Chain A
Amino acid sequence: MTGSNRTIVYEWLRHDKKFPHVWCPGCGLGILLGSLVRALSSSGLDKNRVVLVSGIGCSGRLPVYVDTASVHTTHGRALTFALGIKLSKPDLVVIVVMGDGDATAIGGNHLIHAARRNLDLTALIVNNQTYGMTGGQFSPTTPFGSKASTAVFGHIENSFDISALSETAGAAFVARSTVYHVNQMDNLILQAIRKKGFSVLEVLSPCHTNFGRHNRLGSQVDMMKMYKKQGVPVKRWEQMSEKERLDRIPLGVLTDRDMPTYLDSYAEVCRLAAGMREEGKI
C-alpha cells in the first residue's frame, strides 16, 4: 500500500519547478510520474541515494520534476550516462527514464548492450509509439500501417517489441504495463527498482496529441479505454490461442531471472588480479 499523493507531492516533487507541469492535458507521463514517486516513497530509499537519468523528449522531462539527483542528458544517451554513474558509485540506485524513440531509435544500441552487460540499472521506457516532442514522426515502435506526420499513407516498417527485445538482449527483469493499469504499474516500478540486474519496464502511454490525432484514436480517455480492453495478464495470455492474442497485449512480469550482474563479475576480476599481483605474476 502506497501513501497518499497529498503527502508524497510535498516530499518528492521539486519545489522550485513550475506546476502544473509542461505535458499536454491528460498525457500519461504525469500518471507515470505519480507512480514513480509513490514507488520511490514506498521503497524506503533515501532520496540522496537515488539518481534519475533521462534523455530528450517529453519523457525526458520527467526526472526534472522529482526531488532526487537527476541528470537530463542528450537524446538517446541516457543509458551511457547511467552506466558511468553506476560504475563509479555502485551504491547509488540509478533509474533511467526514456521515450521509445530515445531508447530504441537513436539509443537502441545502448539499450541492447546495457541489457547484455546486465548492470544493475532500472530502465523505465515510455512507449507512446511516436516521437511526441517533435510532432508525431514515426518511431521504431510505431505499428505497421498506422499514420504519423512522416507516414501520411500509413507506416511501411514493422515495429520493435521493446520488452521482447530487452529480454532477448539479456535483461534480468522485463515487465510491461500501461498508465491505465496504474496499481500494477506502482508495483512493477517497485519490483524493477529492487531487482538486482538490468530491469526494463515498458509503459504504454497515450500521446493523444500526436499519435492519437494522426490515427483518429480520440482523446487520452479513449486511448486508455483501449489499453483496458487490450491488456491481459501474462498468465492468461499464455493460455490464449493465436487468434485470441490478436490485438491483445500481455501485461505484468514477462521475465525475472537471477544472473550475476556486471558489478559482481567485475569485482571477481579485481579479486583475481589482486591475487596475481600479490604473487608477483603481474
Chain B
Amino acid sequence: MPSGKAKSPRSGRRDPKVVIYPAWCKKCGNCVAFCPVQALEEDEWGFPRLARPEECTSCRLCEKLCPDFAITVGEAPVIKGRSAEEPAPRATGDRSTVDRRHSPERVPPVLEHHRDEEESDREET
C-alpha cells in the first residue's frame, strides 16, 4: 500500500519519488530524453537528476524506458523488523547487487516503526 498522501503543489498528485541508482546507470539518456514533462536533466557527470520535481507526474515512463533498472518511481519498500543501523542483507553472497530495497546504496528503507511517524508528519503539513 502506498502511504504517500502529500500532494505536489502544482499537479495536486502524489509526491513523486524518483530515485536514481548510479551504480547501475549507464548514462544512456533515455530517461532524460523521454520524460514527457522534462522533469529530468543530465547532471555534470551525465547521470539523470530530478531537476524539476514539481513537474513530475509519477507517470513512470522513465522507469519503464530505462534499460538498466537504474531509475525508479514510487514508494520506498518497507522493510519489516530491521533496525536502521543493520546493513542490508546480501541476496546470495557478496557478489549480488540485487537487494530487496533495490538497492542498498539508494533507497533508504522506511522502517516499519518510522512509517507511522512519517504518515503523521505528512498529515500535519
A residues with CB within 8 A of B: 4-7, 9-10, 13-21, 23, 25-31, 33-35, 38, 179-180, 182-183, 186, 219-221, 224-225
Q: Which of the 9-residue segments B4-12, B58-66, B116-124 touches chain A?
A: B58-66
Not counting A6-B102, A15-B98, A180-B34, a sample of 13 additional A-B residue pairs whose C-beta atoms are within 8 angstroms of each other reads: A4-B74, A5-B63, A5-B64, A19-B24, A20-B70, A25-B26, A31-B30, A31-B65, A34-B67, A38-B64, A180-B65, A186-B64, A219-B29
* Cα A6 to Cα B67 with chains together (Å): 14
Interface residue? B125 (CB, 8 A): no
Residues of A within 8 A of B114 (CB): none
| Contact B63–A26 (Cβ < 8 Å) | no
Interface residue? B33 (CB, 8 A): yes
Q: How far is the CB of A99 from chain B (nearest CB, A)?
A: 16
| Contact A16–B95 (Cβ < 8 Å) | yes
* Cα A245 to Cα B112 with chains together (Å): 56
Majority SS at the chain B contact face: loop
Interface residues on B, range: 35 or more
| Contact A15–B91 (Cβ < 8 Å) | yes
Interface residue? B105 (CB, 8 A): no
Q: How far is the CB of B29 from chain A (nearest CB, A)?
A: 6
User: Within B89-105, which residues are at the interface with A (CB < 8 Å)?
Assistant: 91-93, 95-102
| Contact B29–A6 (Cβ < 8 Å) | no
| Contact B67–A27 (Cβ < 8 Å) | yes
Q: How far is the CB of B4 from chain A (nearest CB, A)?
A: 13
Residues of A within 8 A of B72 (CB): 4-6
* Cα A25 to Cα B65 with chains together (Å): 12
- Which one, B24, B33, B73, B99, contacts A4 given CB within 8 A? B73
| Contact A6–B26 (Cβ < 8 Å) | no
